[in-house]
Structure 1
Amino acid sequence: MTSEPGDLEPGRAAPAHRYTVSDVMSHTAVAVGRGASYKEAVELMQQWKVGALPVLEGEGRVVGVVSEADLLLKEEFKQEDPHLPEQARAAVKAAAVLVEDLMSSPAVTVRAHATLPEAARVMAQKGVKQLPVVNGVGLLEGMVSRSDLLKVFLRSDQEIADDIHQVLDGLPLPGPVHVTVRDGIATLRGPLRDRTPLPLLARALRTVEGVVDVRLELAAERVPT
């Protein structure tokens, strides 16, 4: 669907909502204790269709994460030499039968108020596909996955266009600007009086969740002769 909200007018709306992990995460998370067995972990992952389980102790404090990659080491090392130095740590995990010996610890976690780009950067830097969401004292609040972060790209073009209007409200625009959004691609059209604010406009539009690309089709304003 294409949205054509028309020319922007100052003072129309408050700033657009900035999505956080809390908006997209699973608030109910499947978890295990340190003493759970290898087989229990596999069964839970299969039952709930998840690729990782937070490991809890006490009142629900996250102390680690056991993932499919951790569990698959047992299969991988069936024919490997466990005595090679570079494989020693992985070999210990491959021989483990309890979650506390399998898990990656300390756990890589994220807070519910973190932005989606912040969560995505943590996943990329740490090479993980999902993160436990914890509160200020490390207690589990939910899980967020790569697929959860992609949910914002399912927003309708009209929702995206509405947010663009709010984000651009009050910015120094190069003239009357017309916004269209199709398949998440935001296009601005209108006369161009000054090129100075163009980088600011492009960055502002990219902050809107669900925007796939930004196109500035602004023509130089004709000077009357």
Structure 2
Amino acid sequence: MKHLRTVDDVMTHAVITVNRGAPFKDIVETMRQWRISALPVVSDEGRVVGVVSEADLLLKAQGVDESRAVCAGQLMTVPAVTVPRSASIAGAARLMARGHLKRLPVVEDDGRLVGVVSRGDLLKIYLRPDEDIAQELRELIMAQLIPAGSATVYVHVSDGIVHLNGAIPDPSLSDVLVRVARTVPGVVNVVARFESEVPA
């Protein structure tokens, strides 16, 4: 499994959309057919101009829609909350959490829609095999953090939980290693138990 780091790595490329003129009933039917709770509204050039969600449509059902909105362009929420395909998975997760969003349209720099990312897509990183996570972390530690021969660090991963042990010359290095391990996609938790001196 390749390293999953950005939205582009996990997003769904096939996206169901509507244009500004899509009628109310067509929007409802599209959501029902595809079992989705929100639809990006796109311009003729494929740029995201808004999002119409079940919440937008339910205003009609509640009888509180005073705007007499009947099509996507009138119903949609603007501006749309989108995410670039190069965004980190963690960044997209924070954006979803802040906005209480289930899905985000993924766009190019010019605003053209290229995909959609859901909460479920972001969770794909936790399906990485343990050995993939361990190998990436070993390479990261040896390449960037531990000068040759200065420490002995063992990495074991079980169910996404990283176990670090061995011997390090400076106890503060343990905190650095834990922080680095937490940045590796797919890591659920980190447990570190180091001796503070390198054996002779």
TM-score (norm 2): 0.89
Question: Which of 1 and 2 has greater Rg?
Answer: 1
Q: Kindly report which structure 2 residues correspond to 1:37-186, keeping only aligned pairs within 5 A, or say none.
A: 37-75=23-61, 77-78=62-63, 82=64, 91-92=65-66, 95-169=68-142, 170-172=144-146, 175-186=151-162
1:113, CA displacement in angstroms?
A: 0.6
1:168 deviates by 1.2
Q: Name the structure, 1 or 2, with higher relative contact order (CA <8 Å, separation 6+).
A: 1
2:161 maps to a residue whose letter is I
| Structure 1 unmatched ranges of 5 or more | 1-15, 83-90
| Aligned mates of 2:71, 2:9 — CA distance in 1 | 34
Name the amino acid aligned to 1:117.
Answer: A
Distance 1:114 1:223, change over 3 A: closer
1:198 aligned onto 2:174? yes
Q: Which deviates further from its counterpart, 34-43 or 181-190?
A: 34-43
Asked whether the 8 Å contact 2:174–2:194 carries over to 1, the reply is: no
Pairs aligned (count): 196
Cα separation, partners in 2 of 1:92 and 1:195, compared to 1, 3 Å? farther
Whether the 8 Å CA contact 1:33–1:57 is kept in 2: the answer is yes
TM-score (norm 1): 0.80
Deviation at 1:107, TM superposition (A): 0.7
User: Residues of 1 paired with 2:13 and 2:58: CA distance?
Assistant: 27
Q: Distance in 1 between matches of 2:157 and 2:199?
A: 30
Write the deviation string for residues 52-79 of structure 1: whole angstroms up to 9, x where unpaired.
Answer: 110011211110001122222223x24x
What letter matches 2:108 in structure 1? N
| CA offsets 1:95-145 (integer angstroms, 9 cap, x no match) | 532111211111111110111111112112222111111111111101011
Distance 2:39 2:198 in 1: 62
Query: Cα deviation per residue 1:179-219 (whole Å; 9 max; x = unaligned)?
Result: 11011000001124311222221111111110000111113
2:138 aligned partner, one-letter code: H
Letter matched to residue 212 of structure 1: V
Give the deviation of 1:172 after TM superposition: 3.2
Letter in 1 for 2:77: S
Which ranges of structure 2 fall in alignment gaps of 5 or more residues?
none
Secondary structure of 2:172's aligned partner: coil
